Amino acid sequence: MVKQIIRDFPRLDIQLIVCDRIIGTNLKVSNLANALSFAKYEVYRLWIYMEGQNYKSDRTN
């Protein structure tokens, strides 16, 4: 599905990132943390609200 979206919108800057590295116990937050290293644009702070918990991730470049 993602590959089809990439083909359908060739002018957009879209990447499919596949990473098997797990950071912590929350897989959703782990996926976001792994994707952060591929960010092409400045990301200062990311706040995520999931399952009644607040998670904060700061970029460290």
pLDDT digits (tens, 9 = 90+) for 1-50: 889 999 999 999 888 888 888 988 888 888 888 888 888 777 655 555 54
In the structure, what pLDDT confidence band is assigned to residue 57 with cuts at 50, 70 and 90?
A: low
Q: Can you tell me the distance from the alpha carbon of 61 to that of 51, in angstroms, rounded to the nearest whole number?
A: 29
For 5, residues 6+ apart whose C-beta sits below 8 A from its C-beta are 14
The pLDDT value given to residue 61: 47
Distance CA 7, CA 36 (A): 23
Assess contact for 36 and 46: CB atoms under 8 A.
yes
CA atoms 2, 12, 32, 30: torsion sign: positive
Confidence (pTM) = 0.50
